[in-house]
Structure 1
Amino acid sequence: MPIEPSFLDELAALETSLTRETDSPRQGEQQSPNVGEGLTFSDYRRYAPGDDVRRIDWRVYARTDQYFIKQYEAERNLTVHVLLDTSASMDFGEGDAHKFEFGARFGLAFAYFAAAGHDAFRFATIGTDVERLDRRQSNRGELLRLLDRVNDIDPDDRTAFADALAAYAGTIHSRSLVVVVSDFLADPDAIENGLAALGDNDVLLLHVVAPDERDPDVAGDTVFEDPETGATQRTYFAGSTAESYRNRLSAHIDDVAARARRLRAEHVVVDTDADFFESFAQVWRRQGDRERRRSRG
């Protein structure tokens, strides 16, 4: 099911809601999960003659009857890089629970919030190689174009994490948040090598998992097929076999999370049966909390 342009309007409503959570002025520094030019940190000061009136926060004025200027840390010059996995294993799930569509929505949402906060975004797909989809324009028109590009993608083949992430790392030349959206169904060593190549950048792994992946709706004599290699295996899927499968999947997710921690990357599991906007808001707040901890040293 294609992602409709109205999705961007829904993101706008969510961005307004999340901004409202922290837009009450107070003395000193104002912490915010909203992506401003400094991602999560901004402060307020009273308006003074000569200030650019376009920087007045009118929502604050409506509540306080006072003019406040919202200041961003423009010198931090954040760029948000979204890397979206297009391997065949992402082509799994039905309707809103489809892994690729759910992951693509997350990627587009991060790009939208970057643009809304006056930050730059870059958007690429990763598979056996890397394909840049953006044209270095961080605005609504570019988001609409990206939405169309994403809708045209048919997940296929596999993802070579070590090579793809290393290749993309060479294109990063400023302080960045790198958001990798994937099901990470690959060799953990290759995933770790790819993450290591991203160096000191702030890295967030969004680990997409579908409900039927955790608990397959099959029983008895079953033939399983690897969507990336085409290899098949016949087994009797029940009892101890089903439990062993679930344990192995859980262990793999934990392994990816542990390797991410070793490299100081954030790892978040997102279930595709969750409400998208609630799920994204939770991840966004979590990223804001992480940035606040980093800013405190």
Structure 2
Amino acid sequence: MSVTSPGATNQPRYLDWKTLDRVKRLDVRARLVVEGFITGQHRSPYNGFAVEFATHREYTPGDDLRHIDWKVWSKTDRLYIKEYEEETNLKCTLILDCSKSMKYGEGPSKFDYAATATASLAYLMQQQQDAVGLVTFNNRITKNLPASSHPNHLKLMLHELENTTPDETSDVAQVFPQLAQQVRRRGMVILVSDLFLDLATLNEALKQFRLRRHEVVVFHVMHDDELTFPFQDNTLFRGLETDVQLHTEPRALRKGYLEAVGNFLADVKKTCASSGVDYVLMNTKDPLDAVLGSYLTFRQRMRRSAIQRG
């Protein structure tokens, strides 16, 4: 089943976190986010993650002319329609970071933002009748719900998300290799994390997923404070995953800090690109439905380009 735009013509008013914060239930938040970015799409149908070209059939009067394959017509002088099918057996594994560093921030914290994004993706995929699973991790796998398309499975995933509290460090030296071995059936793997972890281990895990022919997406969640370093007055900084604290004058550190963050982001992007992995930076100040909607529009555009090249 495809998710179809209701045909809105006005510029959408994307949901901000203040709107979502008034909704405590994660299932309602997920529905609001998904409906928010679908409303913002002006093209219909809106097929999100899981539509691909299937076959041709001969044109019959009344068929939508937009689906005529003009390349075939130029070679055969006959009209054929491109038919598409949804990958209703798509299997997606959502991997969510629940280490202590994800606790940072208010309205929302990184974890609030990431958990809502994870729930929204699960909600969207269930609407498309895809099988979705959930893995949470810090220095170990804390929860592993195998992928299922049963409606009650989504309720179970949302329950686990609502009852997950970020804790421990994000030591993934054992976690990611274990996941790469467990997720065997070809499908989609989506990692939602602040990526404060060993990038060499991340790189190897991404390569292992890709070797198994998974499509991999990394949603990199960062708080706006971490990206812009807005602090002005003397500030005490405390480590969330290490027992370190620093009392300092932030303006003296700002230039060096932003340079280090820029290098970090560049390294993460390079790591993802080297394995053919989609990378999306999520700033917690940005409306979540706008971020997801922009990425799904990008996916559709890339898929159409691939079909045209084919």
TM-score (norm 1): 0.77
Determine which of 193, 213, 223 is the counterpart of 1:210: 223
* 1:182 aligned partner: 193
Pairwise CA distance, 1:187? 2.7
* 1:171 aligned partner: 182
* 1:253 aligned partner: 265
Pair 179,291 (structure 1): closer, same or farther in 2 beyond 3 Å: farther
* Corresponding residue SS for 2:195: coil
Pairwise CA distance, 1:132? 3.5
* 2:94 aligned partner: 82
Pair 136,202 (structure 1): closer, same or farther in 2 beyond 3 Å: closer
Moved more, 278-287 or 77-86: 278-287
Distance 1:111 1:179 in 2: 11
Contact 1:83–1:124 under 8 Å retained in 2: yes
Residue 289 of structure 1 aligns with an amino acid whose one-letter code is: R
Pairwise CA distance, 1:183? 0.6
TM-score (norm 2): 0.74
* Corresponding residue SS for 2:273: helix
Pair 293,155 (structure 1): closer, same or farther in 2 beyond 3 Å: farther
Contact 2:223–2:283 under 8 Å retained in 1: yes
Residue 242 of structure 2 aligns with an amino acid whose one-letter code is: T
* Corresponding residue SS for 1:21: coil
Pair 263,236 (structure 1): closer, same or farther in 2 beyond 3 Å: same
Pairwise CA distance, 1:91? 0.5
Distance 2:248 2:124 in 1: 45
Pairwise CA distance, 1:259? 1.0
1:3-34: CA deviation from partner (whole Å, max 9, x where unpaired): 443224325534754787232xxxxxxxx642
Pair 22,181 (structure 1): closer, same or farther in 2 beyond 3 Å: same
* 2:237 aligned partner: 224
Pairwise CA distance, 1:292? 4.4
Residue 193 of structure 2 aligns with an amino acid whose one-letter code is: S
Using the aligned pairs only, state the percent identity.
20
Pair 106,223 (structure 1): closer, same or farther in 2 beyond 3 Å: same
Structure 1 gaps of 5+ residues are 24-31, 49-69
* 2:148 aligned partner: 137
Structure 2 gaps of 5+ residues are 1-20, 61-82
Distance 1:256 1:233 in 2: 26
* 1:93 aligned partner: 105
Pairwise CA distance, 1:45? 7.8
Contact 2:30–2:116 under 8 Å retained in 1: no
1:263-294: CA deviation from partner (whole Å, max 9, x where unpaired): 11111101111111111111222233344455
1:183-214: CA deviation from partner (whole Å, max 9, x where unpaired): 11123223222322323321111011111122
* 1:34 aligned partner: 48
Distance 1:229 1:73 in 2: 46
Distance 1:105 1:45 in 2: 41
Distance 1:73 1:175 in 2: 16
Distance 2:208 2:202 in 1: 10
Moved more, 133-142 or 226-235: 133-142
